[in-house]
Amino acid sequence: MKLRNVFLAASFAASLTVFAGNPKYVFYMIGDGMGMGAVSAAQGFLNAVDGDGAMLQMLQMPVASMSQTYSASSPVTDSAAAGTALACGHKTRNGMLGMDADTVAVQSIAARFHDNGFGVGLVTTVAPDDATPGAFYAHVPRRSMYYEIGCDAARSGYEFIGGANLRGAKNTDLMARLADAGVDVVRGREAAAKSTSRRVMMLNTDSVKKNNVGYTIDSIAGVLTLADLTESCLKHLMRVSPDGFFMMVEGGTIDHAAHSNDAATVVMQTLDFDRSIGLVRQFAASHPGEALIVVTADHETGGMGMASLRHHYNQRLDLLAHQRMSKDAFAEWTSSVIKSGNAPAWEDMKGELARRVGLFGAVAVDEADEEALKALYETTLSHMGGDKKSTLYSSFDRFTDKVYDLMSALTGVGWTTGDHSGAVVPVFAEGEGLQLFAPAQDNVDIPVKIMKAVGL
């Protein structure tokens, strides 16, 4: 009975409070794992391939500042503690979501916007019950409590939540709870556009891949991009809450690719995130004086640097354009050809590498590197599945790992870790209240400043 009242309360929108001169459309763009290295590599890639002065959308914004990211339990934050800081303005321990360090639930700015009559939309390229989006509606001591996180999503009353797939729905009543709360759960952008519900949850068309919608570099037909999700969310909010809304857009897979130390995929996912920033900037330009856009990252991933021990002054980020597959997709392919019993002989594998990654093609490989690669190919052939290198989201055979290591080394990208780092992250701002974000800040200050900008 108590729960039902919560649902009923959430299904009626409060009257909107917008103060004259304050923005009524607020966009919070979070590049998961997008440190200075990812931004520099994406811009460096544009410089190297275009050379016509093309600038990232985020680098065109008038305020460019930075933020610290440490959590209550470590100088190196995880996405749960960082999400809580960015959503709720509280430092917490790694792994905790929407709760302070003493396990007391804390409110997010999305909930405060909603209480004040604003529409709320959250979209991400990873699962909508993942840490960053979850921090805007869930209150759990562990980020892996997907069922409880899903129940909090149902309870939130938010108008739009979009991402890959829900992980808490297997063998639970979560889908029924979402339906009871009036949430229309749809797959793909056409279905989202057709929904007449006030509350929509938009998931990927592919219900198998749980962690993310897929990398753009793998060109998987029909999968959602962040731009698709952003556009669908924007259209929905303009339909159900045209007088004011808050939207959080997460580029979630930048982090996954950086955990894998896969430079080209980090660049492509950062560009995908940047396209969504472009869409939002276009919206803001057509609503002058009414919008605020804040772009930041929850933390840096990979200790990604714009140099390697091998390249000296010959950084060649343009060569990353020859990589046609993410490290994850290449590892899957390697594993499948080995399992099929038809693994190519080394000379044929070199042709595959040229076609799939660029090595032995556009990216020259010397004799010593070839020897090392060939040796790892042979050991991987003989004990596939034996010796693997695991990251937070994937596990790679040693051959695949070396292929991508070499791509980074030879193009001029360095890595210090397969985890996060404690480096400062960028903060960009544009629109009403932008000057609040100009001084260097701490991640917990950002949501406080957003609420100050809107006068709530």
- Residues tagged in the binding site annotation for Mg(2+): 32, 130, 132, 250
Q: Looking at beta carbons only, is 361 or 418 nearer to Zn ion?
A: 418
Q: Looking at beta carbons only, is 195 or 253 nearer to Zn ion?
A: 253
**Shortest spacing between CB 419 and Zn ion, in angstroms:** 7
Question: Which helix (H) or strand (E) element contains residue 234?
Answer: helix 226-240
Annotated binding site: 32, 130, 132, 250, 255, 259, 298-299, 420
**Shortest spacing between CB 299 and Zn ion, in angstroms:** 7
**Secondary structure letter of residue 305 according to DSSP:** B
| Amino acid in position 83 | G
Q: Looking at beta carbons only, is 23 or 134 nearer to Zn ion?
A: 134
CA angle centred on 276, ends 422 and 237, rounded to 5°: 115
* Contact string 248-277 vs Zn ion (x = CB under 5 A): -------x----------------------
**Other residues' Cβ atoms within 10 Å of the Cβ of residue 143:** 25
* Contact string 222-251 vs Zn ion (x = CB under 5 A): ------------------------------
d(CA 76, CA 421): 6
Query: Annotated catalytic, 79?
Result: yes
* Contact string 11-50 vs Zn ion (x = CB under 5 A): ----------------------------------------
Which residue of the chain is nearest Zn ion when measured via CB? 255
Give Cβ neighbours of residue 253 (< 8 Å, ≥ 6 apart).
32, 125, 126, 212, 213, 215, 265, 269, 272
**Shortest spacing between CB 413 and Zn ion, in angstroms:** 18
d(CA 271, CA 57): 9
- Collapsing DSSP states into helix, strand and coil, what is residue 194? helix
- Phi, psi (rounded to 5 degrees) for 455: 80, 25
Annotated binding site for Zn(2+): 32, 255, 259, 298-299, 420
**Shortest spacing between CB 250 and Zn ion, in angstroms:** 12
Q: Looking at beta carbons only, is 255 or 272 nearer to Zn ion?
A: 255
Among residue numbers 413 through 432, which ones bind Zn ion (CB under 5 A)? none
d(CA 146, CA 319): 40
Residue in this structure with the two tokens 């959080």, named with its chain if needed: 248
67, 71, 79, 232: which is the annotated catalytic residue? 79
**Shortest spacing between CB 389 and Zn ion, in angstroms:** 16
Number of residues forming the site for Zn ion (CB under 5 A): 1
**Other residues' Cβ atoms within 10 Å of the Cβ of residue 400:** 27
| 300 is a site residue for Zn ion (CB under 5 A) | no
Q: Looking at beta carbons only, is 95 or 182 nearer to Zn ion?
A: 95
Burial of residue 345 (CB within 10 Å: 0-12, 13-18, 19+) is: exposed
Task: Assess contact for 67 and 440: CB atoms under 8 A.
Answer: yes
Residue in this structure with the two tokens 């729905």, named with its chain if needed: 169
The residues annotated as belonging to the active site are 79
Give contact residues for Zn ion (rule: CB under 5 A). 255
